[in-house]
């Protein structure tokens, strides 16, 4: 499986790592599923996408059943001689009471010139007059490219209390 897995480093406006693990058969998914569930950040959603065998392979084509993991990438935000490293442990100000984390943070400067992580959505970049550095991914999310046979939601235990984002039937 390691040979067929892919990793993408994204470093445009958003800074994150995305790993795609093709799932060749149901047994493989059932074997690795407990480990996949453990990498999710508490409170993060589980996204379901539709398998589409008509699409050609390529980046996020959904042409094969797969697990995608969206994970933080290390980085550093700089401003006027100050720097702030992206990565755990994250400051307690951005951690929820049950350990949940925001999807992304940006570095913002306070009145004293110190940098601090502040939760932000990439959608907010459109409204911002000036962006200071990247949107750094903080939490780890999981996406399943569901085909109903190899990745069969009736055969795996979904985490208790997880929010499901279902894109299998959207027409985008």
98 lies in some domain: yes
> If phi over 0 gives left and psi between -120 and 50 gives alpha, with beta otherwise, what is residue 134?
beta
Domain of residue 83, residue span: 75-137
Over residues 105-155, the pLDDT tens digits come to: 998 888 888 889 999 887 775 555 555 568 899 999 999 999 999 999 999
The larger pLDDT score, comparing residue 53 to residue 43, is at 43
Answer yes or no: do 143 and 117 share one domain.
Answer: no
| 7's tokens | 């990793």
Kindly report the pTM of this predicted structure.
0.86
Answer yes or no: do 132 and 154 share one domain.
Answer: no
Unique residue bearing structure tokens 């379901």? 48
1 lies in some domain: no
Q: pLDDT at residue 4 above 90?
A: no
How many domains in the chain? 2
Q: pLDDT at residue 171 above 70?
A: no
**H helical segments located in 40-169:** none
Percent of all residues in the chain with a pLDDT value above 70, rounded to a whole number: 87
Answer yes or no: do 26 and 102 share one domain.
Answer: no
50 lies in some domain: yes
172 lies in some domain: no
């Amino acid at each position: 499986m390691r040979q067929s897995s892919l990793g993408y480093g994204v470093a445009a406006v958003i800074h994150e790592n995305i790993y795609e693990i093709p799932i060749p058969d149901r047994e493989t998914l059932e074997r690795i599923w407990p480990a996949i569930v453990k990498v999710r950040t508490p409170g993060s959603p589980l996204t379901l996408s539709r398998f589409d065998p008509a699409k050609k392979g390529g980046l996020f084509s959904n042409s094969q059943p797969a697990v995608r993991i969206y994970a933080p990438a290390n980085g550093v935000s700089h401003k006027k001689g100050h720097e702030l490293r992206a990565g755990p442990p994250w400051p307690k100000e951005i951690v929820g009471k049950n350990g949940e984390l925001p999807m992304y943070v940006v570095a913002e400067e306070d009145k004293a010139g110190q940098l601090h992580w502040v939760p932000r959505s990439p959608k907010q970049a459109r409204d911002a007059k000036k962006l200071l550095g990247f949107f750094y991914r903080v939490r780890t999310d999981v996406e399943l490219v569901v085909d109903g046979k190899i990745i069969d939601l009736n055969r795996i235990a979904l985490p208790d209390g997880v929010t499901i984002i279902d894109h299998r039937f959207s027409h985008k």
